[in-house]
Chain A
């Protein structure tokens, strides 16, 4: 399917709705009586929708809250506040058993191929476990056939079902992770940096695989990554996160061609292009300093300490963050429409 038809084919129905999501991790002190002394504002009021069939890219650097967002959506962490609606169902109100059943619809592929597979289980066991847990197969033969089918779909030889994870390379282990996620026929997969730990040419193989599977199985992806070139390739829409906030959301082509927020622009400028002649001609936006700590984020606009051109109001921490629609489908944090 060409890029054009995929974009068109995405229906406008919303699969996932995230509203005002907050995830604050308490920091406690005290040996006998624990009291909360501070909190890490990992995710601090974000809202976005994911449409059925699309790949929604979520980018940002370490500590921005993107992985925590993915985990909250899957209810692997219980959000501090906010609403998460999957196909209209409010997940934050689900009981444990209801959520368990929901996990057939929402799956995950983790970043580290070395720690996300149980080293004491065979590949077949890892891929087949969800089938058993959810009662999706009837009898040994059906189980074996299904495991073989899953392994073949991800480009692995079925006889590898007997092998253990340590006998595979990083790229192959990631394929096992993909097979495991697909075993329950989910509608939605959170891909948490699935290719970051892999070598460049293996990354390309895995990205192609994810795209093929999406087309074949009509999947929706939340693709979390910090590599902007990869995100651009695979996503339909992209959201940029910084210190627990979303600062910009737009269609993929729009955000790469016309980034508005100074953080997005800096992020794009920091990605070197593999061509010395072209790269030398690009505008460089270098951000000063480090990302502030989520224990103590700057008041007002969290980006103000690194913004190349903040307004006076913003610098003093008096502005309020919030996404506004700068052009159709292109949302930017309101502070930065004026600044930077």
Chain B
């Protein structure tokens, strides 16, 4: 399978009154055509900012993509001129956001919103786009699409709105869809429907999918490969099977242990990771996880070890600090 997306040493910082927030601080990874990559981490680890950077949706000011390359189909998206970027965004790469109510325009009908993308990227006429909008709604499983297409977002439930977002994301036959916590705001049974839908559509159309989430169960069920992020960096990555069977980084292990599981016997106490995520304005020197690491080496505690991913087994990369520690 060919590599569709290659991110090299991406850095996105935000300049604020409190200082420079190093939201994404040097991440590198690839996505193959048609595969599903999950990016996992907690609030503030940089996963959403990383995704927005791929589409160059970082507000400038206060944000700035400082460094790095984003090679999409061989072309560095960061060096492209704004007009060409507009074509890529929505056309070749599209996004599904977390909160469907705030990402859909409340004063336009669903038909207008779907048509807009189609008219812009596929140069369809208004009537052609309107017909295609109905087809798209049908494809994402919205019953009675001819009448629903004329309705406004507030007339849809959360799950339905998310389906509309997915329809918009698919409308121009992109090669890559980035879904930023697409089901966090939805109920469990609707979540299951939406994720099944995304997975089947991406398989059917050979579209690569990046799912950003903090739900480890969702990752296990839908992802081919996983990137675990912490403090603006990727601290472990590999296939989903590998990561769950043999997590190497203490943060990954901590995350997996702290989640109660339906299939295992009840434990008396959950095993949380002590402490709080790091302050990204003033992160600890050296390994960004060292203050919460259950078993750091002396060298690491002093901040002397530099973070860097190393390949511990084929396709399984871990930050070098933690191969020794935890």
Q: Contact mask A226-269 → B, CB, 8 Å, 1/0?
A: 11111011000000000000000000110010000000001111
B187 touches A208 (CB 8 A): no
B263 interface hit (Cβ, 8 Å): yes
A41-49, A112-120, A135-143, A270-278: which lies at the interface: A270-278
B220 interface hit (Cβ, 8 Å): yes
A170 to B44, CA, bound (A): 12
Which residue from chain B places its CB closest to the CB of A293 in the assembled complex? Answer: B157
A332 to B50, CA, bound (A): 47
B260 touches A226 (CB 8 A): no
A3 touches B266 (CB 8 A): yes
Task: Determine the interface band of chain A, counting residues with CB < 8 A from chain B.
Answer: 35 or more
- Tell me, rounded to whole Å, the shortest Cβ–Cβ distance linking B83 to chain A: 39
B106 interface hit (Cβ, 8 Å): no
**Chain A contacts for B196, CB-based, 8 A:** 286
Q: Which of B235-267 contact A (CB under 8 A)?
A: 240-241, 244-245, 254-256, 258-263, 266-267
A277 touches B260 (CB 8 A): no
**Chain B contacts for A230, CB-based, 8 A:** 260
B273 interface hit (Cβ, 8 Å): yes
A205 touches B192 (CB 8 A): no
A290 touches B160 (CB 8 A): yes
B43 interface hit (Cβ, 8 Å): yes
Taking a contact as CB atoms closer than 8 A, the residue among B157, B218, B240, B270 that contacts A208 in the complex is B270
B258 touches A204 (CB 8 A): yes
**Chain B contacts for A269, CB-based, 8 A:** 192
A62 interface hit (Cβ, 8 Å): yes
A246 to B118, CA, bound (A): 46
A280 to B244, CA, bound (A): 13
**Chain B contacts for A232, CB-based, 8 A:** 260, 262, 266
A286 to B269, CA, bound (A): 32
B272 interface hit (Cβ, 8 Å): yes
A31 to B186, CA, bound (A): 35
Taking a contact as CB atoms closer than 8 A, the residue among B143, B189, B220, B271 that contacts A273 in the complex is B220
- Tell me, rounded to whole Å, the shortest Cβ–Cβ distance linking B296 to chain A: 18
A225 to B43, CA, bound (A): 21
A207 touches B266 (CB 8 A): no
Given the known A-B contacts A232-B260, A272-B217, are A277 and B272 also in contact in the complex, defined by CB atoms under 8 Å? no
B187 touches A271 (CB 8 A): no
- Tell me, rounded to whole Å, the shortest Cβ–Cβ distance linking B273 to chain A: 4
Given the known A-B contacts A62-B187, A228-B262, A256-B262, are A274 and B256 also in contact in the complex, defined by CB atoms under 8 Å? yes
Taking a contact as CB atoms closer than 8 A, the residue among B160, B214, B263, B274 that contacts A200 in the complex is B214
B270 touches A207 (CB 8 A): yes
B270 touches A233 (CB 8 A): yes
Chain B positions near chain A (C-beta within 8 angstroms): 42-43, 143, 157-160, 187-193, 196, 214-222, 240-241, 244-245, 254-256, 258-263, 266-274, 276-277
Pairs across A and B, CB under 8 Å, 18 listed: A170-B43, A199-B42, A199-B277, A200-B215, A200-B255, A201-B258, A202-B272, A204-B259, A207-B270, A229-B259, A229-B260, A230-B260, A252-B266, A269-B192, A271-B262, A274-B261, A284-B192, A291-B157
Known pairs A61-B187, A201-B273, A208-B272; list 16 more (Cβ under 8 Å): A170-B43, A199-B43, A200-B216, A204-B258, A204-B272, A228-B262, A229-B262, A230-B260, A233-B267, A272-B192, A272-B221, A274-B217, A275-B263, A279-B220, A279-B221, A287-B189
Chain A positions near chain B (C-beta within 8 angstroms): 2-3, 61-62, 169-171, 199-205, 207-208, 211, 226-230, 232-233, 252-253, 256, 266-280, 284, 286-287, 289-291
